[in-house]
Amino acid sequence: MKKINVGIIGLGTVGLGVLKILRERRNILSEKIGVDIVLKRACDVKLRPDLKTYLPKGSFTTSAEEVIGDPQIDIVVELIGGIHPAKEYITTALAKGKHVVTANKALLAEEGRELFALAQDRSKNISFEASVGAGIPVVKALREGLVANRFDSIFGILNGTSNYILTQMSKHGWGFPEALKSAQKNGYAEKDPTLDIEGKDSAHKLVLLTYLAFGRLVDLEDVFVEGISRVSGLDVLYARELGFEIKLMAVAKKDKDNLELRVEPVFIPAGHLLASVDGVFNAIYVNSDKAGSLLFYGPGAGQLSAASAVVSDLVDLAQDVRAGLFRPNLKIVPDNSVSQLRKIQEVEGRYYIRFMAVDRPGVLARISGVLARFDISIASVTQKERSKQEVVPIVMVIHETKYKFLHSALEVISRLDVIKEKPVCIRIEQI
């Protein structure tokens, strides 16, 4: 049977997962493809003892160049993450005529334009199923399965850590710090959780989904990003009372010829499928013009889950290599009904707002007076508790307004002497 030689750079969690699957499923995979996927070279900074069982004899090296430079290797799998030297490895691998498989969302979101152009130039593929939603085959679904479709919007719960934290807050009535601590204790959050909880990881993934669905590789700066660290236990509680759940949502949404891109905590109706996506699970909800509204759901992280996606990319490429031909990944074609990106200031929406105000007659009149000046109309107001001595939460739901009007109004309101904390506002997503 013909052999396809693969080299892996980076033997961390996902890398080890790939080794495990390639070893366990080698016979089945070769029967399915008609070709044997052979791990020829595997590289990391040092040889950890747990790797030994899974590494073919003589395959380990500490030199990435030995992997990339091996003329017998057909496909290079990059799993070290980060921008450098991952970018240089991939560039060299493409230049040397190898296909690339990567799970590196940060790299592709930030440097993808250059890398995809190089791949096209060299008639090679960069495959990246594992970079969004781990083992959920959503890249393939958007690119191939839904090839006949234009998209109206994508709503993604793309970061397992954030979703785990929000779920814990909602289930246990915890505050954010408490839930983060629990996530860290259970191995669902890094010691430095910034990339996850501040929304950047979701933004990277949103850039890739936008590329697949709308044919534009936008700059990361074009995505409005806000994380979950400012979400309080109180807001999660009030969300539930109002019939919502709070989720960190990555959104790409077409409105006429504008595309809005944002990652932020939002309220979604408790009855919506996305509201039931709990814990470390991810989900991508897609509105397409031919196949309708679709949901793809599954674990958003995990050694074998991400490795499952990497191996599916390897199998696709191995079929080509075997045939001795280049079957390029379907070309990404810009959706020309989109002519510009909408700035967050111009994005409209309904909002939940929480004011912390002194409990005194006339407070509501002053707040609503300011809102009226910005043409913002109120759908409902509740003062949650009564207590003469204390500051009380006033919870408001407002009708559609632009981000800029709301934030200007809140700026003014927060300077009122009766307002004791910075007001909190959370968008009510229209899905």
Closer of 259 and 395 to a second copy (Cβ): 259
By CB under 8 A, tell whether 309 contacts a second copy. Answer: yes
Active site residue 205: yes
Which one of residues 12, 82, 177, 328 is an interface residue with a second copy (CB under 8 A)? 328
By CB under 8 A, tell whether 297 contacts a second copy. Answer: yes
Window 32-71: residues binding a second copy (CB under 8 A): 32-34
Which one of residues 323, 343, 377, 390 is an interface residue with a second copy (CB under 8 A)? 323
Window 246-265: residues binding a second copy (CB under 8 A): none
Closer of 337 and 380 to a second copy (Cβ): 337
By CB under 8 A, tell whether 31 contacts a second copy. Answer: yes
Window 213-242: residues binding a second copy (CB under 8 A): none
By CB under 8 A, tell whether 8 contacts a second copy. Answer: no
Minimum CB–partner distance for residue 153 and a second copy (Å): 15
Q: Total residues at the site for a second copy (CB under 8 A)?
A: 59
Closer of 27 and 340 to a second copy (Cβ): 27
Residues 227, 162: Cα–Cα separation, whole Å: 9
Window 123-142: residues binding a second copy (CB under 8 A): 129, 134-137, 140-141
Residues 349, 347: Cα–Cα separation, whole Å: 7
Minimum CB–partner distance for residue 290 and a second copy (Å): 4
By CB under 8 A, tell whether 331 contacts a second copy. Answer: yes
Catalytic residue among 98, 205, 247, 254: 205
Minimum CB–partner distance for residue 380 and a second copy (Å): 26
Q: Which stretch, 321-329, 359-367, 383-391, 400-408, contacts a second copy (CB under 8 A)? A: 321-329
By CB under 8 A, tell whether 349 contacts a second copy. Answer: no
Q: Which stretch, 67-75, 161-169, 236-244, 276-284, contacts a second copy (CB under 8 A)? A: 276-284
Which one of residues 59, 316, 321, 392 is an interface residue with a second copy (CB under 8 A)? 316
Which one of residues 108, 228, 261, 307 is an interface residue with a second copy (CB under 8 A)? 307
Closer of 146 and 394 to a second copy (Cβ): 146
Window 142-201: residues binding a second copy (CB under 8 A): 144-149
Three-state SS sequence of the chain: CCEEEEEEECCCHHHHHHHHHHHHCHHHHHHHHCCEEEEEEEECCCCCHHHHHHCCCCCEECCHHHHHCCCCCCEEEECCCCCCCHHHHHHHHHHCCCEEEECCHHHHHHHHHHHHHHHHHCCCCEECHHHCCCCCCHHHHHHHHCCCCCEEEEEEECCHHHHHHHHHHHHHCCCHHHHHHHHHHCCCCCCCCHHHHCCHHHHHHHHHHHHHHHCCCCCHHHCEECCCCCCCHHHHHHHHHCCEEEEEEEEEEEECCEEEEEEEEEEEECCCHHHHCCCCEEEEEEEECCCEEEEEEEECCCHHHHHHHHHHHHHHHHHHHHHCCCCCCCCCCCCCCCCEEECHHHCEEEEEEEEEEECCCCHHHHHHHHHHHCCCCEEEEEECCCCCCCEEEEEEEEEEEEHHHHHHHHHHHHCCCCECCCCEEEEECCC
What b-and-e string marks burial along 94-110, b requiring 16 or more CB atoms within 10 Å of the CB? Answer: beeebbbbbbbbbbbbb
Q: Catalytic site residues?
A: 205
- Interacting residues toward a second copy by CB under 8 A: 17, 21, 25, 28-29, 31-34, 129, 134-137, 140-141, 144-149, 271, 273, 276-277, 283, 288-299, 302, 304-305, 307-309, 311-312, 315-316, 319-320, 323, 325, 327-328, 330-333
